[in-house]
A = this chain, B = another copy of it.
Amino acid sequence: MTSTLSLGWLGTGRMGSAMARRLIDAGHPVTVWNRTRSKTDDLAAAGARVADTIHGLAAVDIVFIMVSTPKDLEQVVTGDGGLLSASTLPRIIVDCSSVSAEASAKVRQAVEAKGVGFLASPISGNPHVVAEGLSILMASGPKATYDTVRPYLDTIGKTSVWVGEAEQARVVKICHNLYLGMLVQSLSEVTALAEKSGVPRAAFLDFLNNTVLATDWVRKRTPDMLSLDWTPTFTTELLRKDFDLGLAIARQQEMPMPLGASVMQLIQNAIGRGHRDDDFLSLFQVQAESAGMEIKPQ
C-alpha cells in the first residue's frame, strides 16, 4: 500500500511549506529539511520530523523537492552533501520546482544513474491556491514511477496529470504560463475597448465572469483590474522570463507563435514603459494608455 511509504520534503519556502502541509495534514509521515531551519517550525508544529542535514532525508522512500533555481536543484541533489552523496538513497525523487527542461534532464540523468527514480512535477497556482487544495500537478517521468507517486500528488493538489516519460511536465508548465500571458493581453484589449465604448469596466468583467469564457483566474483578479492595483503577485519581468523559456522551446520545436511572440513584445514594451516590477496585469494599463485613455480605479 502506498500509505506505508515514508516521505521527505526538501525546501520549505512559502510554496514548499504549503505543499508539505497538505501531506502532513492527510496523516502521512513526513521528514522535512530546509537550509534556513526556522522555516520548518510551522511544519514541525503540525507533526513533521525535522532533519538536520539533507542526508537525514536519504533513507525515506520518496523525497519531494521544491527549491528556487536550477542551481539550487543541482546542489541539493548532486552537490556536496546532496541527496545522491548519502550512503543510502531514497527510492524516488520528485522535483516540483520550476526549472527548464534542460536542467531537469541533467538532474534526471544523474539521479537515474544511481538507480533512483525521478519524476518532474511542477505545480500550478500559488500558496493560497495550494492551501485550499485547488492546485494541479503536472508530472513526467516513467509511468510506473508516476503511479507510485500519484496518490501523494493527488493529496497535495486536487489532481495530477501525467504528461510523458521525460521532461514534458516542464514544457506543460511553460505552456500554461504562455497561455496566461496571452489571455491577459486579450482580456486587456477587449476590456479597454468596452470601457472606451462606454461600458463600465465592472459591468464588462461581471458579464465576462458569467460566460462560458470565464476563468477562475480572471474572477480572482477582477478586483485588481477594477482598482488598478498592480501590487505584484507575479511581476512583468517574471512573466517575461517564462516567455523567454517558452519562445526558446518554440524555436527549438520550430513552432511559429504569432500571438505568443506578439505578447512577448508587448511585455517588453510594458517593461520599457516602467512596469518591470509591477504585477503583469499592468498590461491592461499600458493597453489603455496606448489608446490615449486615462483609466481610474473603480
Contact = CB atoms under 8 A, between A and B. Distances in A.
Interface stretch (A50-58, A63-71, A102-110, A268-276): A268-276
B204 A175 contact: yes
B291 A272 contact: yes
Contact of A292 (B192, B204, B257, B271): B271
A258 to B, nearest CB: 5
A2 interface: no
Nearest to A171: B197
Interface stretch (A11-19, A41-49, A161-169): A161-169
A57 to B, nearest CB: 29
A207 B254 contact: no
Contact of A273 (B203, B215, B292): B292
A214 B178 CA distance: 14
A246 B273 CA distance: 22
A186 to B, nearest CB: 4
B182 A182 contact: yes
A272 B292 contact: yes
Interface of A: 124-125, 129, 134, 136, 138, 158-159, 161-164, 166, 168, 171-172, 175-176, 178-180, 182-183, 185-187, 189-194, 196-200, 203-204, 206-208, 210-217, 220, 244, 246, 249-251, 253-266, 268-269, 271-274, 287, 289-293
Given A175-B193, A178-B190, 9 more contacts: A164-B198, A168-B198, A172-B207, A212-B215, A212-B216, A256-B287, A259-B259, A269-B290, A272-B290
28 contacts: A124-B211, A125-B212, A158-B210, A159-B210, A161-B206, A164-B198, A168-B197, A176-B207, A179-B187, A182-B182, A182-B190, A185-B259, A189-B257, A190-B260, A196-B255, A213-B215, A213-B216, A244-B251, A254-B268, A254-B272, A255-B291, A256-B265, A256-B272, A258-B258, A258-B266, A259-B259, A268-B290, A271-B292
